[in-house]
Structure 1
């Protein structure tokens, strides 16, 4: 018999809010976290705006020791550790460096890159003949699994500890990997999530590809425009999201607060066939991913009431909506409410799936649909498929039980997870 899996802790570091209370407030108010960045202008970027979480030195000292912070400049690992520790504490657990090793709890925390600024320092250090001055944490800060190495040591986790990496699908994939481990009885708890660095050395390649907007450098909060007729490319973002997954039996046993239940999901690839490429989705694989997620969750397409989409503010938004309508066999006013958290935080790359999963759980828990800001001019191809009232531009109070979250990433990889309001 498969274990039921629930969510008992949340943590988030987002451009428009650090911590669940601030992030929740930002979601309800439709607050953007996109700002201008002079260093992007100095590097002659076309897109000079982005979403970067605001973390003070005082905030850092609440999570890291002075020794850990010495020579530390990996923003992705910083964000991931803050979000992960917040989720851990939110679930009712303490962080104690002297605690017993916990073999029942594991960690799957994704990343695309890690410590690029630190890696740059290392390159210059080697080139200048100062290799002995690089410091003892260079490897830990620059390896992709640095975030899981830091977090597992801070929390004393003894089950599977790993970092996954699947471009924009990373966070949603990590969640489903942790879910399956608990479902199959290999762990009682799994801390899951993902993180992403920020800065010109992360975002430069996307600017070179011309997939980021260049039209809103003077009006940053208007730059991220998923599903809009005037969308002109995505706005880069960074941050982290984390969720503490737990078997229902374990959660009930200790009287834990339960945010929601994970019903199931699906991960697949389009194989860069049938129109799919390194940067474009295979529509048939996307639809199959959605349909299998529904099937694996034991529900019907009619039961999905809200969707938190991938929706990046590129030319592929209309195709994503078309794929949803075909996969669900629902359109017009019969289509679920749908939103894109990216309208407020930009595209947080590897962190997007986990931050948006946290946003999905918050909406489910507090019974509202967050607004799609900058979408007053709905794309005509989308409007032809879905009634505009299903794409709200203001916070909408709504009593619902099931929300779907999907991510579709570079490399033609897909993931979809189904969350349900908890009921024993």
Structure 2
């Protein structure tokens, strides 16, 4: 087998509660601003939770026109917008490359929940004959990856990943492996989610998974804090363009970072609760390090999964201690969900973009609302204030319902011939 190819990040795009441009997103994140607030997508008065990380001022018609917007569920709209931003950011011209060498993998934990609810209501009120013919193509989880490939005529590998909150990380990891193995040269990848709906909000609230801090929503997401009481439901997308190093350098692309390793595992223990000792999470991190051929002391910063749940934050902390041993006290860690809330299947994409920007700008975003660390949560979580510090390698963790665990490692790019 030939030598594995190097894979680099050349373009990134976001749609989040903190903005839909990289500059606005990153400056707000590093300033410790919260994108969480009261929801206005529908009347939440009868719900236990009235707030979330809603994308502000979203106007799909202004972005795509009436016809295209009508054919895309909200989650696919986010994916398309973030993909367009990532492609523009990369400067790539797909017409210069064979279409079969360029592909798409976009993850989503739930897919077109908005369309499902809308058409179900129509069926109940007007009968099955009034269901839209666009229902299935809009709500299917692979709608985002399919529509993105159609926009640019990309005929290479095209799949969709649905592993709950690990979806985007798994998508990026799979795209990385395809390029590394020579099965693609360029991949658009990441995740998208739009689960702030009646069923989404009500379902997670019924599980008691969400924070109920209705009186103070900006302080509701508080990973690793003693007073955390659940995660904050958010929406959006995080999409990046991955390329093999040779293609990227040949066209003079700006390179944000290099993808070094990918690990995934399953807890195999419970459909929603994590393994209390974080054994599955630790396995994913170890596999990621082994894949990258990097020792634990070679990692400088971790963008943690850090959802602000009692069990999850403690399990992840235990996992990091298990993997990094004595080096764990020198690790810098933060959870950007403290500002963004939890984007579910999109979270891994947005958080790897934040990780790449941390390398690119030499700034580590903080964990806001961390006032009193919870019992057992005794690591350096970069509380409340960003740090200006140069880091070489960054790990991003994503763990999802179903016991899915995924870890990605990226590093500062240095050319082989430098």
Task: Normalising by structure 2, report the TM-score.
Answer: 0.93
1:311-346 residue CA offsets vs partner (Å, 9 max, x unmatched): 1111121221121011111366x3310000100011
Q: Distance in 1 between the 2:41 and 2:246 partners? A: 50
Q: How much is the aligned-residue C-alpha RMSD, in angstroms?
A: 2.0
Per the alignment, do residues 101 and 127 of structure 1 end up closer, same or farther by CA in structure 2, a change over 3 Å counting?
farther
- Are the structure 2 counterparts of residues 53 and 330 from structure 1 closer, same or farther at C-alpha, using a change threshold of 3 Å? farther
Q: Paired residue for 1:365?
A: 360
CA contact (8 A) 1:100 1:156 kept: no
Deviation at 1:217, TM superposition (A): 0.9
Determine the structure 2 residue equivalent to 1:354.
349
Matches within 5 A, 1:19-38: 19-37=21-39
Question: Structure 2 matches for 1:148-167, cutoff 5 A?
Answer: 148-167=145-164
Deviations 1:285-321 (A, max 9, x none): 2212111111110111001000000011111212211
Counterpart residue number, 1:206: 204
Alpha-carbon distance between aligned partners in 2 of 1:149 and 1:113, rounded to the nearest angstrom: 16
TM-score relative to the length of structure 1: 0.92
Which shows bigger deviation, 347-356 or 283-292?
283-292
Gaps of 5+ in 2: none
Q: Deviations over 1:226-285 (max 9, x none)?
A: 01111111111110000100000111111111110000111111222xxx5532236222
Detail structure 1 runs of 4+ shifted over 6 Å in the superposition.
Answer: none
Match of 1:16 in 2: 18
In 2, the alpha carbon distance for the partners of 1:201 and 1:76 equals 15
Residue 53 of structure 1 is matched in structure 2 by 55
Whole-Å separation in 2 of the counterparts to 1:15 and 1:29: 14
Partner of 1:345: 340
1:85: which partner in 2? 84
- Which of 291, 295, 314 pairs up with 1:318? 314
**Alpha-carbon distance in structure 2 between the residues aligned to 1:25 and 1:42:** 30
**Structure 1 position 391, deviation (Å):** 2.6
How far apart are the structure 1 equivalents of 2:111 and 2:260? 31
What does residue 44 of structure 1 align with? 46
State the Cα deviation string for residues 343-384 of structure 1 (Å, max 9, x = none).
00111111111111111111111011101110022223212x
User: Closer, same or farther in 2 for the Cα pair 1:39/1:75, shift >3 Å?
Assistant: closer
Supply the distance in 1 between the matched residues of 2:46 and 2:326 (Cα, whole angstroms): 45
In the TM superposition, residue 94 of structure 1 has moved relative to its aligned partner by 5.0
Take 1:365 and 1:38, find their aligned partners in 2: how far apart are those partners? Answer: 35
Q: What does the per-residue CA deviation read over 1:104-136, in whole Å, with 9 as the maximum and x for residues that have no partner?
A: 100000112222222222223333455454444
SS in structure 2 of the partner of residue 380 of structure 1: coil
Q: In structure 2, do the counterparts of structure 1 residues 37 and 418 end up closer, same or farther at CA, with 3 Å as the change threshold?
A: same
SS in 2 for 1:350: helix
Change (3 A) 1:39 1:195: closer
Of the three residues 386, 399, 415, the one matched with 1:395 is 386
Show structure 1 runs of 5+ residues with no match: none
Tell me, yes or no, if the aligned pair for 2:286 and 2:323 is still in contact at 8 Å: yes
Give the whole-Å Cα distance in 2 for the aligned partners of 1:39 and 1:53: 10
- Distance in 1 (CA, whole Å) between partners of 2:122 and 2:110 is 20
- Partner SS for 2:402: coil
In structure 2, the residue matched to 1:192 is 189
